[in-house]
Structure 1
Amino acid sequence: MSVRVSAPDPREVREASLDELSRLGLPLPPSQFPLVWEPGDEVELRPTADIEARIAVLHLILARCFGMPPQAAMSWLLGSRLVDAVTPPEWQYVTGGRGDHRSFVLHHDALFALAWVLGLTKQLDPMLPVDDRLVERLPQIAAGETFQQWRARILAAPQHPVDAAALLDLHYCLDWAYLELEKGGRSLPGLVDANAIGQRRWALEWAVVLRGPYHEEPPGWEEVDLST
């Protein structure tokens, strides 16, 4: 069960995000750059089981990207009772390899961010690529580990919603800054590119649920809006 709490002061969080951008030597967004939430809003994480299911599905799709046969992938999804957690574009890719292979490979970083949300990795550093050790904390699909067995093995310890909201705000600002760098042909501060930052933001936008008068119901995975 997720816990809903008061969201932190959005202006204080934004100030901390901008301080981090400055520390990294990144351009700062314009003064009218919108806040992610308003004073008085509330925040929670999606249910842990939903985040676990999304991690498992993304991990399976990455396995398909790197050669897992469609029949084996479908069999694992059925055995793990995860078919309902697969989006239509994902299903087309899993069953027939249809869709943008490169975009599915990029989900590696979205998976990394979701792993951070569940406490499976200690940090989500914009300077560093995905932690190689993360694979040990993911379902061992090739070894026949089911979704249920994996959940029992990892014992997820989700982040506090306030911490997750702060990291979402940071990635909202980072996403803008990295795209600005790439547009200007400037060098990046670390080993992570704009695609990776965008994927991490996508995962955080999905996992962190904000409640207030200006927020709609949480979007589906494919409905996450990264246009602003």
Structure 2
Amino acid sequence: MTVPAPDPRAVREASLDELERMRLPLPPAQFPLVWEPGDEIELRPTGEIEARIAVLHLVLARCFGMPPQAAMSWLLSSHLVEMVTPPEWQFVTGGKGDHRSFVLHHDALFALTWVLGLTKQLDPALPVDERLVERLPHIPAGETFGQWRTRILAAPQHPADAAALLDLHYCLDWAYLEAGKAGRTLPGMVDANAIGQRRWALEWAVILRGPYHDEPPGWEEVDLST
């Protein structure tokens, strides 16, 4: 569902209000908007988001000891091999890559479950819901991707709500990094890495349409440099 994007300035004002409430530094006046007036927004197809959740969940299972043969078997039975990115493939099959960076994807996974309505809230001050695993594929029990999809009741967020949360995390990402540089105490129970991971997921899941937007990036192509 493609819808008109909300007023980016009103959304930004709300984001800055939240930063002030959290006692975080505010970005400079020239800090760019995420989208422009007149743009349109939509979410990636539900099936594509579900597949990304399943793959990230499998990668995390490998991080915590799942044997590569079992991981490959699950990917094959779930018909998800083509959804695995090259860095993920190297890690799943051979343990190659930055183990710590894959563990951090736990927060990206959490954000994607919020996009699909599997998690009720994505509060930047709160850590990942301890009950999240109950809403994910039961890989050790042999539940395939298809079986999991029939078990859950995905109810995707409205694109405007997801876009507003993307703008907030865009601002939070900058604010957390600045607060860290200044040695300030961060609010809540999450750190800059968690905020960055949640932003990554939202940047990927929310598709922006307009004259200044490129085609939606692949998972590994999401740009978090600004």
Separation in structure 1 between the aligned mates of residue 153 and residue 145 of structure 2, nearest angstrom: 12
* 1:85-112 alpha-carbon deviations (Å, 9 max, x no partner): 0000000000000000000000000000
Give the 5 Å matches for 1:159-198.
Answer: 159-198=157-196
Letter in 2 for 1:125: D
SS in structure 2 of the partner of residue 43 of structure 1: strand
SS of the residue corresponding to residue 203 of structure 2 reads helix
* Gap runs ≥5 in structure 1: none
Helix, strand or coil at the partner of 1:31: coil
SS in 2 for 1:171: helix
**Counterpart check, 1:103 vs 2:101:** yes
Could you state the TM-score of these two structures normalised by the residue count of structure 2? 1.00
Give me the whole-angstrom Cα distance separating, in 1, the residues matched to 2:64 and 2:220. 22
Note the residue ranges of structure 2 that are not aligned, 5 or more in a row. none
Percent of paired sites with the same residue: 85
Q: Secondary structure at the match of 1:16?
A: helix
Q: Which amino acid counterpart does residue 204 of structure 2 have in structure 1?
A: W
Q: How does 1:24-173 map to 2 (within 5 A)?
A: 24-173=22-171
Instruction: Output the CA distance in 1 between the equivalents of 2:60 and 2:220.
Output: 17
Structure 2: distance between partners of 1:193 and 1:227: 18
Q: Residue 150 of structure 1: CA displacement?
A: 0.3
> How far is the alpha carbon of 1:62 from its aligned partner?
0.2
Q: Runs in 1 of length 4+ with deviation above 3 angstroms?
A: none
1:223 aligns with 2:225: no
Write the letter of the residue equivalent to 1:91: W
The separation in 1 between residues aligned to 2:133 and 2:225, in whole angstroms, is: 30
- TM-aligned CA deviation for residue 184 of structure 1: 1.1
Residue 200 of structure 1 pairs with residue 191 of structure 2? no
Q: Alpha-carbon deviation of 1:186?
A: 1.1
CA displacement 1:45-72 (0-9 Å, x = unmatched): 0000000000000000000000000000
Q: Give, in whole Å, the separation in 1 of the partners of 2:214 and 2:225.
A: 16
> Please, what is the CA RMSD of the aligned residues?
0.3
